[in-house]
Chains A and B, each alone.
Chain A
């Protein structure tokens, strides 16, 4: 029942190729099994219902046997109402146990996957950016949706079938052995054969369906590319080339799908034929005994019926086993997602501080961790950082910033500007060195406190679906409409918003596609202003805004920046010049710092950057269109 729209097929990116586990790792499944713990009562019911169903199903051939033998022996003396009553009784019981197991399995499946998603989501909110750096959104989506459905499917229906399947096979075996031990043993000879064939085929079938999924994900990628790149494709007249490449993909898809279909097509008839072998054996031996008078017609019929009841559980068990081997990788990934420890989290000491901090002191000068709320000074001491040890990004940064200062950061792309800011915000922690807030290492402060003191405006502004108003309100959830409007005015977004058909209530789709990138930046700027942060970070925040609007923002900006610490990564001269201090960063080091005039006086890197770029920078983005 999992027709999830975020199936692996869409988002399997090959980060963790799924492989067939040779053995079933019980430890792993135990960890998952923990999620059924709140539903212990349901699980017990499920297992009981599964076993009961098996027993009732296995009892039908016995009833048939009784009826036939009784009629054969006693002729018209038989009270058929008695048998009808029994049959009806078993039907009612079977109905009840069926209702029970379907309901319980459904409930466990639904509820456990809800719980796993909840736990996963909560952990995703804790995990550091470094976790996200290597995992595309689609990959995480697939873990939280399709993987989750798949695993809870095993937890609920797999467990049910395990108990139902083994019980019914056991019941059939016992019934046959009691009715006629020799005949029972002979018929049961076919079972290992059935099991072996089933195991082999189920494995092959799952394996080829894996290949199908892989090609399918490539195919989805190809569709994606063809749609995203349609202009380029048209401009370079690549339609037929692309179609030819795509044809190769669909060709492979055809081949794998056909292989998969043929495996199933062989498997079922094969197993039916094997089953008929058991029927034949029962017929020959049972028939001989019947002629000899040692076996009744009813028993023979019961035997033949049983030989037909055997394949279902064998097939089901074999396919669950294969599925478990196959899903092991999913299980590992989901567990790892839930159990992943964030690189950056509050230390024991901070947690203790938060716990002991008196809630009454809320409005005081103290932050949630019982330390100073106000950020007076940030200092970086010999900060080094590397995403990958072989490639250091920051090398020994020393910097001291006081409240009210605006720091502009300039330098070539890849020099470490954004990384520096991310470290100050504690999205990453330095690999060595330390960051001090008010003279105290920020690793000893509450993470939530620091990050709720932040306001960020990023170059690629993220817009949530919802109205413009809701998007701005994200900065401060309890802000009034007036405050939102005020923030939008300061951000220079008000007029643009009012020009929309529904103003602040204009609904934006996913990713805010109805807004231009400049408009998105303004909305996210308003959001940051509304948050009234102690530290404001602007990373190329107005790069797509036209100059007229930019000029308007500049006017409000000095007012906004007053009293805060601000880090501005920008190319625009007007923004840079207004900063209290300019850092020139290249190769992970601060190679120059000072105010505009001083730096020009040095005739160093800044001077070079500035004079070399001056024409470009000054006229960047239509400066000429400023009125007058």
Chain B
């Protein structure tokens, strides 16, 4: 999956995201609308007071006592209370608006996160083969965050700006037509300017982000490879390389600073000019007696209220652009098809003989790693697979586990075609220990319980001692509770492999698969493990991939693979008599043994003399 091949998201997809939360968003818009109305009350109330004082009589209060002494006081306190109450109600509505928008956006984002997570876990192994972890994580964290801020903030900001302009216009025209025209005259220019900025600056932002990414990548490489840097004493070289990237980022950032400075300044000047126009034109009509001082005040205040959000629009639009890009990047993941996993449970447990007929398989089209494999594995048998790297050993077991789907040939388990058995049941019936085992960053106990939920500590310990890891566990300060991973105990490769084996044994599976899973375990320990496994023999069909003869010559049957074919098959006693790679291997071993014997003899010579 390539970062560059993403497409921008579409507005329909954005709309689809809001499913289930539209009522809340509707409520938020309604609250915003009414809230703006209340915010608009203050200038009108003040206008009414000022005009009333200037005229010596409040408009609409002709039947009331005149504007004198404590009556005037009562009127003014009433007006002041009205200002406070209107602002408070407006504030309450703003709160409701923010609350509903927050709840809606958080709901949406939680759903997106959960969906991404489950989706990633259900995507086929092939998808994970070709995608980069860092890139996926970047999408799941930063891109989701970008969409979140958009849904929680920018949608509201844009809506509010538009709504404010639209609602203030009638009020202005109601107060005075000519002055209203003047008040709105520069606003289209400001909108236009915001759009222009948005289009121009996109490129610059992208370049800056790229420069920053290049710098971070350089830094990360240096830090992860610090041992190599030191081993070759390349510090000066590294400092130069980083300085280049650091400077490039600084210069890109500075370019953006300059553009931003001009944008903000120009839009500020435009806004100020608009205010100035209102003041001067208002004063002109005030002189002409067309409007009162209160009206001028109201105009001036309204324009001030509306113009600031418009000024910010360029930046907001830019964030919208980013959100659309992020949405596109997420959809790229979500559009991948998941493995089917809703297959019906099988009527009987998955067990029995495994029969492979004419199986061919390729990870990439045209490059078969398994070629016409025919193989029967009886229930309870221990099968060892030998072969050079790339001969298809791991591919075979991954296909058996339905981590990959095969389309040529057939595999049956207990008579049923593997393809028709539900993936999850197939995997549940198998216990696997992979070449490079993965442990979760949880406690050792929880890691072992991955094998089987609800296994008791005794069962876990029994499995751990069979896998010869019980002593290691008890040597950790917190025993089973010890955390695995960065914040906990550091495990050696051998310990990881043995824990993974214990985890598979806890499962007590019908088929136990070990993919070169004792390679980092020393021979003495391996012997103990193999003895323990032998004691279990008969409980599970066991498939062992190994490189050491000692791990396999005890198997019921050994198959030797090369280049996707099975080239030899049979028990040790049979293969040793055949002319073939297996015998060569054993011969090599015995020649080494005899050379060892010679070594021993020669080293004994002096002591004998």
Contact = CB atoms under 8 A, between A and B. Distances in A.
B283 A265 contact: no
Interface stretch (A18-26, A120-128, A319-327, A351-359): A120-128
B219 to A, nearest CB: 6
Interface string B257-298: 110111011101100110110011001101110000100110
A118 B243 CA distance: 7
Contact of B388 (A117, A137, A253, A546): A546
A360 to B, nearest CB: 21
Contacts of B268: 94-95, 98
B593 interface: yes
B295 to A, nearest CB: 11
A291 B72 contact: yes
Contact of B125 (A72, A234, A531, A600): A234
B254 A107 contact: yes
B169 interface: no
A247 interface: yes
Contact of B225 (A91, A225, A462, A475): A462
A195 interface: no
Given A254-B110, A573-B592, A624-B588, A619 B152 contact: no
B212 A4 contact: yes
Contacts of B11: none
Contacts of A227: 120, 128, 133, 136-137
A281 B76 CA distance: 10
A254 B604 contact: no
Q: How large is the interface on A (under 10, 10 to 19, 20 to 34, 35 or more residues)?
A: 35 or more
Contact of B283 (A71, A113, A132, A237): A71
Contacts of B284: 80
B551 to A, nearest CB: 8
Q: Is the interface of B mostly helix, strand, loop or mixed?
A: helix
Interface in B223-274: 223-235, 237-239, 242-243, 246-247, 249-250, 253-254, 256-258, 260-262, 264-266, 268-269, 272-273
**7 nearest CB pairs, A to B:** A624-B585, A269-B91, A106-B257, A280-B80, A265-B98, A601-B603, A261-B102
B102 A462 contact: no
Given A220-B137, A283-B76, A236 B451 contact: yes
B524 A612 contact: yes
Contact of A141 (B42, B83, B216, B592): B216
B235 A261 contact: no
Contact of B141 (A9, A118, A600): A9
Contact of A276 (B88, B109, B592): B88
A220 B602 CA distance: 61
B209 A3 contact: yes
Interface string B569-609: 00000000000011011101100110010011011101100
Interface string A52-84: 000000001001100110011001101010011
A599 B599 CA distance: 10
Contacts of B118: 239, 243
Interface stretch (B191-199, B350-358, B367-375, B426-434): B426-434
B547 A620 contact: yes
Contacts of A477: 234, 237
Chain B CB count within 10 A is highest, among A99, A144, A619, for A619
Interface stretch (B46-54, B177-185, B413-421, B460-468): B46-54
Contact of B232 (A78, A225, A454, A546): A454
Contacts of A251: 110
Interface stretch (A198-206, A297-305, A557-565, A584-592): A297-305
A258 B389 CA distance: 53
B431 to A, nearest CB: 8
Contact of A287 (B76, B88, B216): B76
A234 B404 CA distance: 11
Given A272-B91, A474-B228, A144 B219 contact: yes
Interface string B54-90: 1000000000000110001100110111011011101
Contact of B287 (A78, A122, A250): A78
Contacts of A281: 80
Given A95-B265, A273-B88, A573-B592, A136 B486 contact: yes
B272 A68 contact: no
B453 to A, nearest CB: 7
A102 B137 contact: no
B492 interface: yes
Nearest to A275: B87
B474 interface: no
A80 B106 contact: no
A216 B114 contact: no
Chain B CB count within 10 A is highest, among A125, A264, A623, for A125
Contacts of A243: 114, 117-118, 121
Contacts of A126: 235
B247 A269 contact: no
A223 interface: yes
Contacts of B588: 618-619, 623-624, 626
Given A235-B430, A253-B110, A288-B76, A451 B254 contact: no
Interface stretch (B19-27, B158-166, B376-384, B435-443): B435-443
B142 interface: yes
A221 B585 CA distance: 45
Contact of A76 (B49, B287, B582): B287
A615 B585 contact: no
B481 interface: no
B468 to A, nearest CB: 14
B341 interface: yes
A80 B280 contact: yes
A6 B141 contact: no
A45 interface: no
A234 B124 CA distance: 9
A5 B211 CA distance: 12
Chain A CB count within 10 A is highest, among B45, B213, B250, B434, for B250
A211 interface: no
A323 to B, nearest CB: 18
A352 B503 CA distance: 59
B526 A616 contact: yes
A596 B152 CA distance: 71
A237 B585 contact: no
Given A10-B141, A83-B280, A220-B137, A99 B265 contact: yes
Nearest to B94: A269
A427 interface: yes
Contacts of B438: 228-229, 231-232
Interface in B126-141: 128, 132-134, 136-138, 140-141
Interface in A2-17: 3-7, 9-10, 13-14
A270 interface: yes
Contact of B434 (A9, A91, A232): A232
Contacts of A510: 134, 217, 220-221
Given A5-B212, A273-B84, A413-B494, A601 B589 contact: no
Interface in A547-566: none
B549 interface: yes
Interface in A276-291: 276-277, 279-281, 283-284, 287-288, 290-291
B334 to A, nearest CB: 14
B600 A600 contact: yes
Contacts of A92: 269
Contacts of B227: 129, 427, 456, 458, 462
A273 B98 contact: no
B547 A621 contact: yes
A304 to B, nearest CB: 6
A5 B586 CA distance: 55
Contact of A465 (B86, B221, B223, B388): B221
A332 to B, nearest CB: 20
B450 interface: yes
A87 interface: yes
A626 B388 CA distance: 10
Given A236-B503, A288-B73, 20 more contacts: A103-B258, A110-B254, A118-B243, A219-B141, A220-B140, A230-B120, A230-B123, A262-B102, A266-B95, A273-B88, A414-B492, A451-B233, A455-B231, A458-B227, A458-B228, A510-B217, A610-B596, A616-B548, A621-B547, A623-B585
